[in-house]
Structure 1
Amino acid sequence: MTALLFSTPHELQHQLGERLKRLRLSRNLDQRTTAEKAGISEKALRNLETGRGSTVETLLRVLKALDSLQGIDLLAPEATVNPLDLLRQSKPAQRARRRPTASG
């Protein structure tokens, strides 16, 4: 993980492509079959796997075709609320009420 912190965006894109390629091969799928299943061109898949640029949509389609959508949770985990943070917050301001006047 620490090696990824010092990688350039281009290097990260290449590493992601390599991982996707290995995932595809581990599922015993060729590029043509994967591209058809994802609804993209073979060239788009090759570009993604070689780190030559791609779209988020292509990435998502390939992850779905490889039955690997859990990768999205790893890329962008759901934000959670820490119960301790809620306790530390001050109470929200309440609506002020009018006090009855003596004349009224």
Structure 2
Amino acid sequence: MQINRTPARTPEEQEELLGQRLKMLRVHKNLDQTTVAARAGISVRSLRNLESGNGSSLQTLVRVLRVLGRESWLETIAPVPTINPEMMTRNAVPRQRASKSRNKKIS
């Protein structure tokens, strides 16, 4: 049985793809770069960099998503699990924090 998987994209390819999708969304909303940049409180150059996949800050991405009405995209990046199988046991206690690393040194 063969599973068809698309090859993993490089970070640069991911940035370029995301930029293309943002540009397409902006154009479909009939907004020019100047308008989106002004509404987002960023420079047109920052928006061009984001749309071309030439690097951008997370803050720029969030601002542009907000202007384009797509902040909900961020919720799909790292959804919070709603069910923890361990919590289904009777003696489970909700965790308050992550455990410390327990790496042992070998001398």
Q: Is TM > 0.5 for Structure 1 vs Structure 2?
A: yes
1:21 aligns with 2:9: no
Q: Which amino acid aligns with 1:37?
A: R
Instruction: Note the aligned Cα RMSD (angstroms).
Output: 1.8
Deviations along 1:83-104, whole A, 9 cap, x unmatched?
Answer: x431247455xxxxxxxxxxxx
Q: How many residue pairs get matched?
A: 89
Q: In structure 2, what is the equivalent of residue 46 of structure 1?
A: 48
Q: 1:81 to 1:91 in 2, by over 3 A?
A: closer
How far the C-alpha of 1:45 sits from its partner, in A, is 0.2
Tell me the amino acid that sits aligned with residue 76 of structure 2: L
- For the 8 Å contact 2:86–2:92, the answer to whether it is kept is no
Matches within 5 A, 1:12-91: 12-82=14-84, 84-88=85-89, 90-91=91-92
What are the superposed Cα offsets for residues 11-56 of structure 1, whole Å, 9 maximum, x if unpaired? 0010000010011111110000000010000000000000000000
Provide the C-alpha distance between the structure 2 equivalents of 1:68 and 1:89, rounded to a whole number of angstroms: 40
Cα displacement (A) at 1:78: 2.2
Would you tell me which structure has more helix in proportion to its own residues? 1
Q: 1:45 to 1:90 in 2, by over 3 A?
A: same
Larger radius of gyration: 1
Return the TM-score normalized by structure 1.
0.77
Per the alignment, in what secondary structure is the counterpart of residue 13 of structure 2? helix
Once the two structures are TM-superposed, the CA of residue 81 in structure 1 deviates from its matched residue by 2.9
Residue type matched to 2:61 in 1?
A: L
Q: Which runs of 5+ in 1 are unaligned?
A: 93-104
